[in-house]
Every structure is written in structure tokens, then in C-alpha cells.
Amino acid sequence: MLKQRPPWLAVKIAAAIATAAFFDSVTAVECDVSALYVAAVIYAAWHGRLKYGVLCMALSIAVMSTICAIQGTPFSNRFYLYIHLLNVSLIMAALTFAVSWYRKTLDVAIRNSKTDPLTSIANRRTLMERIDLEIKRSKRTGSAFAFAYIDLDNFKTINDKQGHDAGDAVLVETADTINKLLRSTDLAARVGGDEFCVLVPDCSQSESSTIIHRLRKALETTMAQHDWPVTFSIGLVAYAEAPDTAEQVIADADRLMYAAKHGGKNNTVHNIE
């Protein structure tokens, strides 16, 4: 599926071509303004990828040909005009493919730097950035937020007895289940081999307890459907007053998660700060 582009992108591309056409029409025929059309194509390929780059290239060549037909050309023979247009077309085509490929590669690299490659949810880096933002927002507005640290009990058993493919399937299903139950403002992240975190903004302790309880039930249902002997130890901390650092948030929830684990596993331990 093609990624949707901003509705104003086509307008900007059209404006770029129109600007190039204006200067092309008001300057002497000896003055070559092909670079303006090329710039429009580069802009289209960068922001709209290959589809928009090719469309802009075609329109640019059509406009250049039309202006040449109306105003004449500096070439003594029309054959040379066609060679010139062909050269410009080849340059535009090469730049379109190169720029769109580079932008696509860059987008993939940025996305991979922010997400876990296996589960496609946020990674630790993205989580830390979001917690920092939430701390600043909480200190500014006085809003509460909650944070949960989830560890999969008996996950090693899955890897040892059923293999790492089964273990990966458990992690993917866990991430999918968490994501389905969260609000658009919440964030799920995988921070370790079998460890997940959930950031819940604008949430009191009672609300966070309800959310995590519902999440636990959904995870238990998912594990039962696949006959996986996995349970969940969860540490949940709700902040009425934001701490100073993201590291402290993770450490507080991690401590509660280990308390749940040491208390017999398959449990949620929560606290309010």
C-alpha cells in the first residue's frame, strides 16, 4: 500500500514546476533553466518518493517541450533539442530513483532505530525518550501517569522445550496483545529478551490498576489459546508527582516487578509515588 502523502504536497510540486516554467518563459531562449525543473523533481522524489518524482519529471519535460514549441529554441536543428530533452530526462530519472531510494532507506533506518525488530513495538531508546517527555509534561501540568514493567514467567521453558521460533512467537503475540488494548496515547515497548514496559499517561492509580488487570487477563487468554505455560509478573507504579528521570521510573517499576516474581510469580505488585 502506498503511504499517504500530505494533501498539500501535490500543490507544492505544481507550484515548483510553475515557478520553473515562469522563468523559462520570461528568459531568453539561450538561457537554460533546466536546473529549476530538476530541483522540482528532487523535491518531489524526496517528499513523495518514486511515484511523485516520476510524475513531476513527466510534467516538467512536457512543460519544457511546450515552451520550446511556443518560443523557439537556441538549437539550429530540432534534433539537438530532442537530444537536450533526452539528456535532461535521463538526469531527472537518475535523480528521481536515487533520491527516492535514499529517502526510503533513511526512513527504514530511522524506524528501525526506534522499534524492536522482532515485535515492531517501541524499543528502549524510544521508551526513554517518551518517559522523559511525559515527566516534563507531568511537571508542567500536574498530570499523573503510570508505568508498568512486565516480565514473562517460564519463558525460558518455551525456548528450551519448543525452540527459539516458539519463543519468538510468544514475544510477538505478547506485543500484539498489549498493543491492541492500549490507548493511542499509551506506549508499549520491549526492553529486554522477555521484558516489556507500558507507559500510560494521564492515568491515576485506580485507573492504571484497571488497565493492567484487563491487560493481564488478555495476555493470559492469549497464552492459553496457544497452550503456552507462560504467566506474567508485573510491577506497576503510578506517579501523582513525577520523578526527575526516566531511569528512576524504570527502576521503580523494575523493583516492583521483581517483588512480584519473588512473591510467587504470576502477580501484579503496584505502588503510588
Decide: 103 and 49 in contact? Cβ < 8 Å. Answer: yes
Calpha distance 248→81 (Å, rounded): 68
Distance of CA 205 to the CA centre of its chain: 30
Residue 103 makes CB contacts below 8 A (sequence gap 6+) with 45, 46, 49
Calpha distance 6→51 (Å, rounded): 14
* C-alpha cell recorded at residue 110: 530511522
Distance of CA 48 to the CA centre of its chain: 17
24 part of the active site: no
CA distances from 229 to 130, 131, 165, 177, 199 (A): 32, 32, 16, 16, 26
**Nearest to residue 231, comparing CAs of 271, 264, 191, 254?**
264
Catalytic residue (one of 24, 153, 186, 194): 194
Please report where in the chains the cell 491487560 appears, as a residue: 215
* C-alpha cell recorded at residue 163: 525452540
* Residues annotated as part of the active site: 194
